[in-house]
Amino acid sequence: MFLRHHRTTTALVLLSLSALALTGCAAADEPAAGTAGSATSGSNAAESVTVTDPWVKAADEGMSAAFGEITNDGGDDVTIVSATSEAAGMVELHETVDDGTGAMTMQEIDGGFVVGPGETLSLEPGGNHLMLMDLTDPLEAGEEVTVTLTFSDDSTAEITAPVKDYSGANESYSGDDSDMDMDMDMDGTEHDHEHTVDEDA
């Protein structure tokens, strides 16, 4: 009896050890909890930004502009490379610069808007802005306009901005798709001469 019991006990011990060994192999093949995907973890650019106080200038036709504060809450640079809106045939990212004669003119920014970690990009009349060109309909005060921002990682953020009356910041725009530069202010009026940014009107 003792011998038979001893053999049974030995067999059970061996089976238990074998099961433990198999369990250990399976656990070794699986990543530890929380480590999977750690190399690619983190939010995309669109999820890292917060947009506050967005608004669009009212305009009957032609061109308008969108403004607001874009804050990067993430730990890396974010770059806004383009924008679109159903309210306009084309949206460009513009900066306002001195044309060398003391007059301020707006132009499409090279490389897009870069916002560093913890920094805020101000889109404002007389400064950086989103230029809405070839308006599809008049933009009247009280309406809302949706603009979609696209970042360098192809993520997108949709902004809904109210339309407001504003008569200032009539920057000139020097286009280069014709032999002769055409200057336009933000209400779509064409000019044949340069003019300065009117921030106080």
| In-domain check, residue 141 | yes
Q: Work out the average pLDDT over 132-140.
A: 97
The predicted-structure confidence for 13-65, as pLDDT tens digits, reads as follows 444 544 444 444 444 444 333 323 222 335 799 999 999 999 999 999 999 99
pLDDT at 168: 64
Q: Which domain holds residue 55?
A: 47-166
| In-domain check, residue 176 | no
| In-domain check, residue 191 | no
Q: What is the CATH number of the domain that holds 74?
A: 2.60.40.1890
Q: Which residues of 136-159 are buried (b: 16+ CB within 10 A; e: fewer)?
A: eeebeeeeebebebbbeeebebeb
Q: Are 29 and 22 in contact (CB under 8 A)?
A: no
| The pTM of the whole model exceeds 0.85 | no
Q: Work out the average pLDDT over 80-85.
A: 98
| In-domain check, residue 122 | yes
Q: Are 111 and 117 in contact (CB under 8 A)?
A: no
| In-domain check, residue 157 | yes
Q: How many domains is the chain built from?
A: 1
